[in-house]
A and B are shown apart, each in its own frame.
Chain A
């Protein structure tokens, strides 16, 4: 699993990158997210250390961590994981990704991303057409929008 292809990395980007600062509120949100997705301390430490090296050191502070607004909104979407439909939606998204044309890099990135949310299995089943036929995905849940952009289901600009 590559650190940059994970939801937690995306959360760090939201927290840090709006103004180059991390607020206390963001730290608490990151803690909450870690608990919600069952991320181990060691995995979190690895992701955060890589994020610092690759992103934070190049940032220029221009505020007081206003990224916590966007982060709070996104962490709120983690409730999707409790939705019984999350399995089917993930599977449908896998199928949609494959139908859209999935490169090896996109497969690795998206599977890594979905796996950290515990949705790697249904996503893979959708991509590789395993088991029952996956349905069509009507709307990409907010939680999965970043990975949907990665695999080209949603335009990067949207």
Chain B
């Protein structure tokens, strides 16, 4: 899932505070002050974000969604640094990079992993699961994304029980709201996955995934060595011959011309 909206300063501050709170040494108020100042957020924003964290942190478990929460927070801080909402160089940048890197989720992004395809030959394994060669498509069913969809949307931080509105403002939870009123909503949400037919699951074969990756080669207009190396490695891992590569390349270029 890609972030396509510009983040509000309050959302960025909130993300940085989550990462800081969850870091080994706990929250670094000095760092957060610098972030707050850099984003031109006021004390009220800080207080609201901290209140949200305290209400939802759940002792660091975040209601069982810790990984997703931290992942999204890292994404937001990185995006803020990319679009210069936060400095991308200098001492603050270094500290933020440390903060983001400290809880990094894997370093280099493997597009094939993102597509749910892992190495292991033509019939290989996908998404970390061994695949029955008779049903290779099942390998691409990736419920992680769905889980994260439930958790996070493009607007707020925690979509299902978010306390951040579209503007990044923290909205106070109605703690006193009776559970009975929420129950039907929960039931509806839980019923949906059972009703979804299996046919609607994502279906991607290694060749299709490879072709999708190949199509990104010239997204910037130029083929570069890193892209060529990645594709060469993936051909070997997926058992795609060079002849198949050239055929796929040719048909891809013909389609796009």
Contacts and interface: CB of A to CB of B under 8 A. Distances in A.
A128 B218 contact: no
A128 B224 contact: no
A107 to B, nearest CB: 7
Interface residues of A, number: 15
B223 A107 contact: yes
Given A124-B246, A125-B242, A130-B235, A101 B228 contact: no
B220 to A, nearest CB: 10
A108 B222 contact: no
A104 B223 CA distance: 8
A102 interface: yes
Contact of A129 (B218, B222, B232, B253): B232
B222 A101 contact: yes
A46 B66 CA distance: 65
Interface of B is mostly: helix
Contact of B225 (A99, A104, A130, A131): A99
A14 interface: no
B251 to A, nearest CB: 13
A129 B223 CA distance: 12
B228 A127 contact: yes
A103 interface: yes
A72 interface: no
Contacts of A108: 253
Interface string B219-257: 001111100110110010000001001100000010000
Nearest to B227: A98
Interface in A95-121: 98-99, 101-104, 107-108
Contacts of A99: 225
Interface string A127-157: 1111100000000000000000000000000
A77 B224 CA distance: 31
B225 A128 contact: no
A130 B222 contact: no
Given A98-B228, A104-B253, A108-B253, A128 B221 contact: no
B225 A98 contact: yes
A101 to B, nearest CB: 4
Interface in B36-85: none
Given A98-B223, A101-B222, A104-B218, A129 B228 contact: yes
Interface of B: 218, 221-225, 228-229, 231-232, 235, 242, 245-246, 253
Interface of A: 98-99, 101-104, 107-108, 124-125, 127-131
Given A104-B218, A129-B225, 9 more contacts: A98-B224, A101-B223, A104-B253, A108-B253, A124-B246, A127-B228, A128-B232, A128-B245, A129-B229
8 contacts: A101-B223, A102-B223, A103-B218, A104-B218, A128-B231, A128-B242, A129-B228, A129-B229
